[in-house]
Structure 1
Amino acid sequence: MTTGAPPEASAAARPDSVQQGLDALVRADGLPAALAGVKDREGHTRNYTAGVADVTTRAKVPVDGQVRIGSNTKTFTAVVVLQHGAGYGLGLMSRPLSCGGVYWGHGGDIPGYETRGGATDYGRAVSVEVTEIPPDAEVAGRVEKVVDAALCRR
């Protein structure tokens, strides 16, 4: 398995592409809300939100909000599996990262929600949820780009 650590030193100087990606999913693609939680190598988690929690009241998405998706557990299972040296299992798939290396993840959807996420073998993990199933492959690809941006720290 190839490992590619992201270029974190230069990441701090650039705008946060995870937040930009979530904002674009809401503004340009019309999804009501998008949320992401990113865990770095040291175990620190950063939460991101965009959009509204309620389309009627326009209430903001709470940072500590919950999206109940069973597929999220596979993202966290991926971290444990990778820590124990396994290469594949539990429905996890290896996907290439734009910064090099791969991440292991699983995504899924139920009516009204979609989740995508994964973990790298160098300790980063992300879970991205949107409160509407993307209407086409182009929008779904942009959700995947948010996952890539979080794992590559761009």
Structure 2
Amino acid sequence: MPAAVAVAVGVMTMGALAPPAAFAAPRPEAVQQGLNALVHTDGLPAALASVQDRPGHTRTYTAGVGDLATGAKVPRDGQVRIGSNTKAFTAVVVLQLVGEGKIGLDTPVDTYLPGLVRGEGIDGRHIKVRQLLQQTSGLPDYTPYLSDDVRYYEPRDLLDLALQHKAHFAPGEKWEYSNTNYVLAGLIIEKVTGRPVAQEIDRRIVQRLGLRHTYFPAPGDATIREPHPKGYDRDAAGAPLDVTEFDPSWAWSAGQMVSTNSDLNRFFTALMTGGLLPPAQLAEMRTTVPAGEPFASGARYGLGLVSTPLSCGGVYWGHGGSMTGYETRGGVTEDGRAVNVAVTTQPSDKAAMRHVERLVDAALCR
């Protein structure tokens, strides 16, 4: 696996634990204090947050430094790689096509990609589109089999890696997170529309909502276009390693996108209030099954959308993402509060990620 792909897209623990005192206060300064703690106590290079209240007013926060080499400030609401939040965008496009009568949720994958999905215990004639989006297909994840020697992957290369391994279970038998599901969803979008998945996401979601800081990087584009904090990993000696720039093609429609916390809040708010899907398709997206690892106890997975219990009651809806150099967590409540938090490394310390998740919970429970 490439060094820049040390952690799979979407590998996350979206906990909903009761926030400790340091994260629990509902005042705006408590969000800042929470970010400061992530930097000074947990040792993360930078942390950013965007908090949107019910009327739609937004506050943004930063902590840490945006560039460890220069000490540059963290850009307010800077762009980050959003990892598996991309899955929610991909799922929305599929569900829009369902609403248009171009895709059937309970239609076999083989109808759209004839003969493509075959392997040991794997047959696209027996896997439904719904099971891709719901993560119940049984398809193995390709991510552990990525190579250090490959810098650019075509989507079919990713699928080929997965199909070299046997099915983990029969379709619909259980739930298991696999990026392969969303690569196939992207391929179905392209087959049905005749256009690149990036173009469809841009046309149907990004432009429609005016997400000015959100995009799907073009092939070979290793940069982040607008002001952004640098993303970091650790080298063999434990020193921070700048991994901001790389080709994210290995993530494709499962996790390639770049955005900001505020744009993510706008996206999930529009989605949950009916701004992107007809009622029938939004109801399908919100129909969930119990989710196991890597999600926390109580989390449930819909069609590219996760519900996570709140310590103050109810749930919030989002997805979250893990991508080389960055982690993002957040979502929106039923009554319109929205929070997204990003940090500029993938913490190896699970306690640090629990603190990120608790900060999301505290901000939504204010």
**TM-score category by the smaller chain?**
0.7 to 0.9
1:83 aligned partner: 273
**CA drift at 1:98:** 1.5
Amino acid at match of 1:41: R
Q: Deviations over 1:110-150 (max 9, x none)?
A: 11101111000100111110000122221110010111111
Q: Distance in 2 between matches of 1:49 and 1:23?
A: 8
1:95 aligned partner: 308
Gaps of 5+ in 1: 1-9
Gaps of 5+ in 2: 1-24, 89-263, 288-301
**CA drift at 1:101:** 1.3
**CA drift at 1:69:** 2.0
Amino acid at match of 2:56: G
2:79 aligned partner: 66
Question: Contact 2:50–2:77 (CA<8 Å) still a contact in 1?
Answer: no
The alpha-carbon distance between structure 1 residues 71 and 64, as it changes in their structure 2 partners (threshold 3 A), is same
Instruction: Give the number of the structure whose residues are more often strand, by fraction.
Output: 1
Give 2:346's match in structure 1, choosing from 120, 125, 133.
133
1:118 aligned partner: 331
1:148 counterpart = 2:361: yes
Question: Contact 2:330–2:338 (CA<8 Å) still a contact in 1?
Answer: yes
Aligned residues: 142
Question: Contact 2:306–2:317 (CA<8 Å) still a contact in 1?
Answer: yes
Tell me the secondary structure at the aligned position of residue 16 of structure 1: helix
Tell me the secondary structure at the aligned position of residue 55 of structure 1: coil
Tell me the secondary structure at the aligned position of residue 43 of structure 2: coil
Quote the RMSD (CA, aligned, Å): 2.1
1:3 aligned partner: none
**CA drift at 1:41:** 0.6
Mean Cα deviation higher: 114-123 or 71-80: 71-80
**CA drift at 1:70:** 4.8
Mean Cα deviation higher: 59-68 or 100-109: 59-68
Q: Distance in 2 between matches of 1:72 and 1:37?
A: 16
1:40 aligned partner: 53
Q: Distance in 1 between matches of 2:61 and 2:68?
A: 19
Q: Distance in 2 between matches of 1:11 and 1:69?
A: 26
Normalised by the length of structure 1, the TM-score is 0.81
Q: Distance in 1 between matches of 2:49 and 2:357?
A: 12
The alpha-carbon distance between structure 1 residues 11 and 109, as it changes in their structure 2 partners (threshold 3 A), is closer
Q: Distance in 2 between matches of 1:38 and 1:65?
A: 14
Q: Share of identical aligned residues, percent?
A: 63
